[in-house]
Amino acid sequence: MTAPRIEIDLSKIRQNTRCLVGHLGSRGITVTGVTKAVCGNPDIAQAMLEGGVIGIADARLRNVVRMRKAGIGCPITMIRTPMQSEVGQIIQCCEASYNTQMETITELAAAARRRGAVHNVVLVVEMGDMRDGLMPEDLEAFASQVAKLPGVALKGIAANFACLGGIAPGAEAMGMLSRMASEVEGSCGPFLELVSGGSSVNLPWALSAGTPGRINNLRLGEAILLGVEPLSGKPIEGLHTDAFALVAEVVETKPKPGSMPSSTFGSALKASGLVQDDDRRIRSILAIGQQDTDAGGLRFPSGVDFLGATSDHTVVDTTNSSFTVGNEMKLRMNYSALMRAMSAPDVAKIIFSEETLKGDVGIRLPRPRAALV
């Protein structure tokens, strides 16, 4: 089989989705599956849908088009503020989009009217992540303008956490977002169908004993795909953490010293005994590099230590393992490594689907480590 490649187990993605949808559903919270890390892979989107998500969300129009061409017919939301150059396609391919700019919403409304359609708008509120979002004090007036604009409908509000600023959401932040939803309804009139509290970082809060308030949706990608809590990287009990495996081939294995003296003095140093043969360790090179993935986000098999990576090579210490040239090495990935590898054209994507998890399993997560203050 070709290498490098990603082996993808759809049944584990489906099971992770079912588990999260079930537990959050008991709290009145729906799940939107986020496919941006997998480049809108239609098979993965379909596995999420079979697991019970209410729709799909992505940040790239190209990914959305890919899913539509493959026959994914569910509601799809654009979760990055649309570029004005793509509003026509957004109206054509997406039922809703997340927005922060009135100029862009105006363009979306005009494009929707030309098609005889109504496009759903979700307003993103800045709650401490300092990436995209309206300031809370501006939300009501902004929402009132959107509500009066023909061609668009104000569907809801949303917030992001721990994307740029690393701030974990807690009960106080979610209570604030709930209050803002009620205040927007009071000033604008229309009922907000969606109050999306955030992403996989919200799971500790969402599954805690407190009330969810108005929060009725989470956008989940990392937890479904990798089965981990993003801030800590810890596995979520009850979820598969091995739905994806990156497989790379060993192309060189040689004993080498821990550090190489300069060529001018190397022979003399070795002759003098300053460089010992027993300092040598086995270094192996994998035919994969930073052009293919985030090498720093890889987890290696037992007995293999990561030493470094260049554009096309990843160097590991295999002194305590038995890998030889031609062997394949199976690697685990964090979210960054997965995202890079899925978008790399030279990394093959191999789909598997076999139901392996029987029955339901409980989820236990660590409490949020920080709250918005």
**Same domain, yes or no, for 197 and 98?**
yes
Q: How confident is the model at residue 263 (pLDDT cuts 50, 70, 90)?
A: low
| 372, 29 contact by CB (below 8 A) | no
CATH of the domain at 198: 3.20.20.10
Task: Please check whether residues 40 and 136 belong to one and the same domain.
Answer: yes
Q: Are residues 185 and 327 in the same domain?
A: no
Same domain, 167 and 199: yes
Mean pLDDT of 34-63: 98
Q: What letter does residue 234 receive in the DSSP assignment?
A: P
Q: Which residue has the higher pLDDT, 341 or 260?
A: 341
Q: Are residues 166 and 288 in the same domain?
A: no
Query: Which pLDDT does position 262 carry in this prediction?
Result: 61
pLDDT in tens, 247-259: 999 999 999 997 7
The reply to whether 96 falls in a domain is yes
Same domain for 98 and 221 = yes
Say whether the peptide bond before residue 4 is cis (omega within 30 degrees of 0). Answer: yes
Domain contains 176: yes
Closest alpha carbon to 35 in 12, 56, 50:
56
* pLDDT tier for residue 118 given thresholds of 50, 70 and 90: very high
Alpha-carbon span 356 to 156, nearest angstrom: 37
Residue 259 and residue 331 in one domain = yes
pTM to 2 decimal places: 0.91
Print burial letters for 334-364: b (CB count within 10 Å at least 16), e (below 16): bbebbbbbbbbeebebeeeeeeebeeeeebe
3-state secondary structure of 98: strand
User: 47-61, 268-282, 291-305 — which is least confidently predicted?
Assistant: 268-282
Per mean pLDDT, which range of 37-51, 224-238, 352-366 is the poorest? 352-366
Alpha carbons 236 and 190: distance in angstroms, whole number: 37
295 within some domain: yes
Confidence band, pLDDT 50/70/90 cuts, at residue 189:
confident
Distance separating alpha carbons of residues 143 and 156, to the nearest angstrom: 10
pLDDT value, residue 260: 67
Q: Are residues 173 and 268 in the same domain?
A: no
Q: Would 185 be classed as within a structural domain?
A: yes
Sorting pLDDT into bands at 50, 70 and 90, what band is 166? confident
**Closest C-alpha to 246, from 127, 165, 347:** 347
End-to-end CA distance of the chain: 52
Is 283 in the same domain as 155? no
Q: Give the chain's domain count.
A: 2
Q: What angle do CA 122, 126, 129 make, to 5 degrees?
A: 120
- For residue 23, the enclosing domain spans 9-226
State the Cα–Cα distance between residues 221 and 45, nearest whole angstrom. Answer: 11
- Span 131-149, average pLDDT: 96
Which of these ranges, 91-95, 347-351, 369-373, has the smallest mean pLDDT? 369-373
Q: Do 255 and 339 sit in the same domain of this protein?
A: yes
Evaluate whether 285 touches 4 at the Cβ level (below 8 Å).
no
Lowest-pLDDT choice from 152-161, 222-231, 352-361: 352-361
- In a shared domain, residues 169 and 273: no
Give the integer Cα–Cα distance in Å for 157 and 98: 8
Instruction: Report the share of the chain in percent with pLDDT over 70.
Output: 90
> Where a domain ends, among 226, 260, 290?
226
CATH for 285? 2.40.30
* Residue 365 falls inside a structural domain: no
Q: Angle at the Cα of 310 (from 235 to 5), degrees rounded to 5?
A: 55
- pLDDT, residue 370, reads 31
Average of per-residue pLDDT across 122-150: 96
Q: Which whole number is the average pLDDT over 69-93?
A: 98
Same domain, yes or no: 214 and 315: no
- With pLDDT > 90 as the criterion, what percentage of the chain qualifies? 82
State residue 353's pLDDT score. Answer: 80
Give me the phi and psi of 244, to 5 degrees please: -125, 140
The pLDDT value recorded for residue 258 is 75
Q: What is the pLDDT of residue 168?
A: 81
Domain assignment of residue 231, yes or no? no
Query: Do 335 and 37 touch, CB atoms closer than 8 A?
Result: yes
pLDDT exceeds 50 at position 311: yes
